[in-house]
Structure 1
Amino acid sequence: MNIDILRYKYNLFGMNWDAHLRLRHVRTFLEIARAESVSVAADRLNITQPAVSRSLKELEEMLGAPLFDRVGRGLRLNEAGRVFQSHASASMVELMRGRDRLAKDGDLTSRLSIGVLPTAATDLLPRAALSFREEMPHVRLHILTGPNWLLFNQLRDGTLDLVVGRMPERDAAAGVTFQQLYIEDVILVCRPGHPILERSKPEDHISDFTLILPPSGAVISATVERYLSSIGLPGLRGAYETVGLPVGRKILSASNALWFISRGVVAHETEAGSLIAVELSSPLLSGPVGISISTSAPINVERSVFAECLRNTANV
């Protein structure tokens, strides 16, 4: 459907739009768009499939345009649907913001549970949390850190509303959608004055020093393993395994150990010069950092606002 035609039909509908549009039309549309299925949307909304189909039909009649294309047994947004989705989502967010601002001062009316992986815990998440507090002051943020496998299990079972960090590997990604915020690389870091910094080809001397590697459950573990194999060190084990900043930073400062870690985890330290990124002739692979949400999670406006805060923070 041509977007100009859709705009024309919006205008043609005129006053009937205000008289007939209901919140259920918007909620039903957004749920169908996310589930790409009438039956799944009905289950999530706890209403019957005929009621979902009826609400969609009424909305499409009001707009004068179909919003979905049928693909097999499912539905997929068409061009007009994508246009309407952007405005419908924004409208829902604004309605909930209005509700929040009318809440009693100081009364935390709801809670949003966030899981954060190390790469986003030191900078992105705290800044987004402060921005979110300004937007929705009556929502309590419950922030959890932990290993990759635990956070994604909690995301799938509904304990967490979203997870912020590296894109999960294939096994952990089942039942999860991912929205990329930016690309980040894995680096090798050491203390200032480390002997490896004087080597013309540092990768030839990695095995000469004590290593800190990410544990097998960490998202970046496979990336580091592939890199070590590519430089002739397959199966190399670290004396320590962690992606935790306090532990890794302390070990590096007190020894000649080397640490493979996501750049975001040690960003403040490398900027301040308390840790140094070793210049490798063949850098490690980069990977996306972003927002992971369970495909079975219901519509949640607080989560949408926090995701917006994350996107704004990542773009600053």
Structure 2
Amino acid sequence: MRMSAVRLRHLRAFVAVARQASVGRAARDLAITQPAVSKAIRELEQILGVELFDRARRGAVLSRFGEMFLRHAEASLSALRRGLEEVEDATAPHALPVRVGALPTVSARLLPDAIRRYQAHGLGAAPRVVTGPNEYLTEQLRQGDLDIVIGRMQEPEAMTGLVFEHLYSEPLVFAVRASHPLAGAPLSPCALGAFECLLPPPGSVIRPAVDRFFAAFNLPRPASVVETVSLAFSRRYVRASDAIWVISEGVVLEDLQSGEFARLAIDTGDTTGPVGITLRAGVLLSAPAEVLVKELREAAAEIRAA
């Protein structure tokens, strides 16, 4: 193929001669000899099968084929230069960080594995993880203070100017300590009403799913409620009380698998919701951010396969 025969030295020599309209000046700019420049031009013309300069005129004047090829050669060199600069910036010790907003419901499951994978690339751009309520993270993303937000998909009206990539889906669970009175027993809806519940606060991305579930199955209002998005607080509170924690499965999956927590016998299949990446529409990510997005996809693929 012709393209495989073209070398960087061919493009550099051609663009330099075209810009300077002189082989001699191009040679000085490139810090090589005139014969080397002339040879590179001849080789390029042989590869393309056309003359790039009009030999009938004095100086280095582009032919119509030369004019046609110049814009592509310049674009290629420009793209290569930008690529080199981007890689250099990404590997520099003081590169700008990759700023990730993570809802608490994914910071415990998806993100740690993706960050470990990202760190293995040895990039200079450190990951900066910010957690908080969904509205806060979304506003930070819109303002450009975050590069990526990871969590459940928001309601359509909140997605203007944003794009969402679905990675996997997960349901809500009703989690309790392993020795809870309701753990491992058949469950009647009225039994829930006697116990305190930890719920996501209004405005959190999973609260609508929680409210819809309670309403759809006519579940009683809990005896008392604590509203929180703090995973550390909730985990400690559940360990020390009979509270029921209503939360995304991924947050407590390790606790459930270890046997420290138990899942109440409530079918929450209807609460399954999409978890994924939210980005600003039409905004290109930095090279390090692209690497992190790739690793998020890989980590999510393993979750789907589990």
TM-score normalised by structure 2 residue count: 0.68
Structure 1 pair 160–282 and aligned structure 2 pair: CA distance change class (3 A) = closer
Instruction: Measure, in 2, the Cα distance between the counterparts of 1:152 and 1:102.
Output: 28
Amino acid at match of 2:299: T
Q: Is the 8 A contact 2:193 2:220 kept in 1?
A: no
Q: Does residue 166 of structure 2 align to residue 161 of structure 1? A: no
Residue by residue over 1:279-301, the C-alpha shift from the partner in whole angstroms, topping out at 9 and shown as x without a partner, is 21454410111110011534422
Aligned to 1:227: 213
Deviation, 1:159, is 0.6
Amino acid at match of 1:116: A
Deviation, 1:199, is 3.9
Q: Does residue 300 of structure 2 align to residue 300 of structure 1? A: no
Structure 1 pair 174–17 and aligned structure 2 pair: CA distance change class (3 A) = farther
SS at match of 2:157: coil
Q: Which has the larger radius of gyration?
A: 2
Q: Does residue 269 of structure 2 align to residue 273 of structure 1? A: no
Deviation, 1:167, is 1.1
Q: Is the 8 A contact 1:115 1:163 kept in 2?
A: yes
SS at match of 2:171: strand
Instruction: Measure, in 2, the Cα distance between the counterparts of 1:92 and 1:261.
Output: 48
Q: Is the 8 A contact 2:189 2:219 kept in 1?
A: no
Give aligned pairs, total. 238
Aligned to 2:192: 206
Q: Is the 8 A contact 2:101 2:148 kept in 1?
A: yes
Structure 1 pair 297–145 and aligned structure 2 pair: CA distance change class (3 A) = same
Residue by residue over 1:19-72, the C-alpha shift from the partner in whole angstroms, topping out at 9 and shown as x without a partner, is 78xxxxxxxxxxxxxxxxxxxxxxxxxxxxxxxxxxxxx99x98xxxxxxxxxx
Residue by residue over 1:230-261, the C-alpha shift from the partner in whole angstroms, topping out at 9 and shown as x without a partner, is 11137768510113211111221111111110
Instruction: Measure, in 2, the Cα distance between the counterparts of 1:93 and 1:162.
Output: 23
Instruction: Measure, in 2, the Cα distance between the counterparts of 1:273 and 1:165.
Output: 26
Q: Does residue 131 of structure 2 align to residue 145 of structure 1? A: yes
Aligned to 2:243: 257
Q: Is the 8 A contact 1:166 1:287 kept in 2?
A: yes
Q: Does residue 128 of structure 2 align to residue 109 of structure 1? A: no
Aligned to 2:201: 215
Amino acid at match of 2:219: L
Instruction: Measure, in 2, the Cα distance between the counterparts of 1:181 and 1:17.
Output: 40
| 1:115-126 map, 5 Å | 115-126=101-112
SS at match of 2:299: helix
The answer to which of 199-208 and 130-139 deviates more is: 199-208
Instruction: Measure, in 2, the Cα distance between the counterparts of 1:201 and 1:92.
Output: 65
Structure 1 pair 226–313 and aligned structure 2 pair: CA distance change class (3 A) = same
Identity %: 30
Instruction: Measure, in 1, the Cα distance between the counterparts of 2:231 and 2:124.
Output: 31
Q: Is the 8 A contact 1:161 1:297 kept in 2?
A: no
Q: Is the 8 A contact 1:191 1:275 kept in 2?
A: yes
Aligned to 2:160: 174
Instruction: Measure, in 2, the Cα distance between the counterparts of 1:288 and 1:230.
Output: 20
Aligned to 1:243: 229
Amino acid at match of 1:99: E
Amino acid at match of 2:242: N
Instruction: Measure, in 2, the Cα distance between the counterparts of 1:17 and 1:212.
Output: 64
Residue by residue over 1:52-110, the C-alpha shift from the partner in whole angstroms, topping out at 9 and shown as x without a partner, is xxxxxx99x98xxxxxxxxxxxxxxxxxxxxxxxxxxxx9998577435764xxx2222
Instruction: Measure, in 2, the Cα distance between the counterparts of 1:92 and 1:112.
Output: 22
Residue by residue over 1:161-192, the C-alpha shift from the partner in whole angstroms, topping out at 9 and shown as x without a partner, is 01011112223322210111111111110111
Structure 1 pair 268–102 and aligned structure 2 pair: CA distance change class (3 A) = closer
Stretches of 4+ moved more than 4 A in 1? 11-20, 91-98, 234-238
Q: Is the 8 A contact 1:229 1:235 kept in 2?
A: no
TM-score normalised by structure 1 residue count: 0.66
Deviation, 1:203, is 3.1
Q: Is the 8 A contact 2:103 2:131 kept in 1?
A: yes
Aligned to 2:88: 99
Aligned to 1:5: none
The RMSD of aligned alpha carbons is 3.1
Instruction: Measure, in 2, the Cα distance between the counterparts of 1:189 and 1:262.
Output: 10
